[in-house]
Amino acid sequence: MMLAMPLDGVRILDFTWVVAGPVATRILADHGAEVIKVERKEPPQLGNRKLGLQCDLNRGKLSVALNMQHPRGVELARRLAAKSDVVMDNFSARVMRSWGMDYESLAAVKPDIICISMSGLGHTGPRSSYVSYGPTLQALTGFTMLMAEADGTPAGYGYSYADTCGGYTGALAALIALWNRHRTGRGQFVDLSQFEAVTSVIGPALLDISANGRTQPAPGYNSQEGPAAPHGVYKCRPLDGDDDRWVAIAVRTGPEWRRFVTAIGSPSWASDPQFRTLYLRMHNSAELDANVSRWTAEHSAEDAMAILQRAGIAAGVVENGIDLCARDPQLKERGFWPAVATGRGTTTNVTGIPFKLSGGSGKVRSIAPEVGENFDYVLGELLGLGRAQRDELVAAGAVWP
């Protein structure tokens, strides 16, 4: 017997796009919610829906293309909202209001509706109308300044960490609001500021700023949780012709240092007085790192990690894409890369769900839809419109099939 999924029976009307919002609604879809993406006919070209990032972000969802510049398109959206539990968007604060799809308007249609606005900076404050993307939020919160080389050269922001942070916060907000409605019967408006979500996870630097008023230099490879040495990434023996192999190592305490020395064979340099204490190891970190690097160069990154982990030392391979997708035994064992049929006689792999529930976990149910792919289900089965009515709406320009 198939176990029910945690969010079976919950319907999400999804106006989100790009990354942050789709991350949030993907999490909800993975756990049973019916997520209906409301899209325009030709959304920005963000990638293939059947492969890669957009496939991963929009899996398990349905898509209908409504013309939100047409009064009848807006009316269809309002009818869908009346049949939904949650309406989510990640536009700037003014967009849903301009369509008459803000919380006050929708609550008049469905009193217990939950509306979640994942705007960049929230609906209040002097910058509430500002447009933002993940990289700009990372700049505003100081992450960009902290991501720099030792000489201060900016290292760039890498992948948009802010989008993922905002997405997970959005999914959490939806679950909290749904639980509150379950207890009280009341819907509500959730004003989610992605700026604040990203600010809250800056970490020790934020505490140092607020408590001590200290300017924060880029941390580089220095430990931010407490003093440590050795602490950093160390080059390892090539693997299958790949000479860019590294292992991360962190040694914080005296007992850890002694276990580390034993694990690497008790080399003579480890007895040098300049490495006797943690303070001295940090003070002489350049010499220490050179010695550690000679040991790691003799081992593969995987072997170095295994040797040190057996000794209780925090060590991990600096994995690349091939490692993550094909080599990592932990991800393989936990089934982190499930295969999903593309509908074209092939399969593609997507990211898995990072937790398992003994009472019935979520699962990846289907590939991402093309824009408007579920036109007939959404307008026909869900809204009860016959074929002639649907065709007339298409002819009027209110929807696109």
Q: pLDDT tens, position by position, for the chain (401 residues)?
A: 456 899 999 999 999 999 999 999 999 999 999 999 999 988 777 888 888 899 999 999 999 999 999 999 999 999 999 999 999 999 988 899 999 999 999 999 999 999 999 999 999 999 998 989 998 999 999 888 888 877 778 777 777 889 999 999 999 999 999 999 999 999 999 999 999 999 999 887 778 878 888 877 777 778 877 899 999 999 999 999 999 999 999 999 999 999 999 999 999 999 999 999 999 999 999 999 999 999 999 999 999 999 999 999 999 999 999 999 999 999 999 999 999 998 878 999 999 999 999 887 789 999 999 999 999 999 999 999 999 999 999 999 999 99
Out of 14, 56, 89, 163, the active site residue is: 163
For domain 11-201+338-400, which architecture applies? 3-Layer(aba) Sandwich (3.40)
Domain 231-330 sits in CATH 3.90.380.10 = no
Sort 191 into a burial class: Cβ within 10 Å, 0-12 / 13-18 / 19+: middle
Query: What are the extents of the domains in the chain?
Result: 11-201+338-400, 231-330
**Residue 243 exposed, middle or buried by CB count within 10 Å (0-12, 13-18, 19+):** exposed
How close are the terminal C-alpha atoms of the chain, in Å? 36
59 token code pair: 């899996």
pLDDT of residue 223: 83
Q: Is residue 163 annotated as part of the catalytic site, yes or no? A: yes
Neighbour-count burial of 86, counting CB atoms closer than 10 A to its CB (0-12 exposed, 13-18 middle, 19+ buried): buried
User: pTM here?
Assistant: 0.91
The answer to whether 304 and 315 have CB atoms below 8 angstroms apart is yes
CA distance 93 to 79: 22
Q: Are 300 and 235 in contact (CB under 8 A)?
A: no
Q: Give the pLDDT of residue 3.
A: 67
